[in-house]
A and B are shown apart, each in its own frame.
Chain A
Amino acid sequence: QVQLVESGGDLVKPGGSLRLSCAASGFTFSDYYMNWIRQAPGKGLEWVSYISDSGTTIYYGDSVKGRFTISRDNAKNSLYLQMNSLRAEDTAVYYCARDTLGGVDYWGQGTLVTVSS
């Protein structure tokens, strides 16, 4: 079955950096676009970024553009999110989610990023 397992969340100071990972299994990772989506504590869902199956097409939400970088390693069935210049408002649970035509289907369990001094 499809499994997505995020890791890398931590407590980091404002201005700091963090790299999240998502390990995929149960499907052919290289055939799918992938997304990062976040949820601030007690809040709704915010789409963060999207990467095509080959990694050649990438989009970011306006709130993270220029600070976050999405990437993937199809040989390792892994998705990444490099987060720089972190702000308090980046505090959230970050989910990786498999893209499908018309949105997303499977989500990981999430990893918590806390930005605080």
Chain B
Amino acid sequence: DVVMTQSPLSLPVTLGQPASISCRSSQSLEYSDGNTYLNWFQQRPGQSPRRLIYKVSNRDSGVPDRFSGSGSGTDFTLKISRVEAEDVGVYFCMQGIRVPYTFGQGTKLEIK
């Protein structure tokens, strides 16, 4: 199985400041079609996960442009340019290259 490792697991951030979350996979997530299947999800308290980013850097509809994804191969990053109060929650990376789909442990973002 592909192991996904996130860091940090806890991320206190001051409002208006940037935040960055790292995700590493145990195998390359680049598929034979040339796409890299790395997704980012946000889970606000008491809610189900919502996809923010797919194929490393593509924002889903309605996702604010302060969220951005980058990376390649086995190393990926989710960045929030200026954290807002509504960004509080847990962020997960997920590989979609093969089943079993696997997730990072989650990074809990809180406001300092």
> Interface of A with B (CB < 8 Å)?
35, 37, 44-47, 50, 59, 61-62, 95, 100-110
User: B105 an interface residue at 8 Å Cβ cutoff?
Assistant: yes
With A44-B92, A103-B54, A108-B48 already in contact, the answer to whether A59 and B100 are too (CB < 8 A) is yes
Q: Which residues of B (69-112) have their CB < 8 Å from a CB of A?
A: 92, 94-97, 99-106
A37 to B96, CA, bound (A): 13
* A contact residues around B94 at 8 Å (CB): 45, 103-104
Across the two chains, which residue of chain B brings its CB closest to A97?
B49
Q: Binding site of B, secondary structure by majority: helix, strand, loop or mixed?
A: loop
Which residues from chain B sit less than 8 Å from chain A, CB to CB? 31, 35, 37, 39, 47-51, 54-55, 60, 92, 94-97, 99-106
Flag if A47 contacts B100 (CB, 8 Å).
Answer: yes
Q: Which residues of A sit under 8 angstroms from B50, Cβ to Cβ?
A: 107
B103 and A50 form a contact (CB under 8 A): no
A107–B96 touching, CB < 8 Å? no
**Bound form: Cα–Cα A35–B31 in Å:** 20
Interface centre among B31, B37, B96 (most CB of A within 10 A): B96
The answer to whether B48 and A103 have CB atoms under 8 Å apart is no
Question: Given B37, B105, B106, which contacts A103 in the complex, CB threshold below 8 Å?
Answer: B37
| Inter-subunit contact A107/B37 (CB<8 Å) | no
Nearest B-chain residue to A45, judged by Cβ = B103
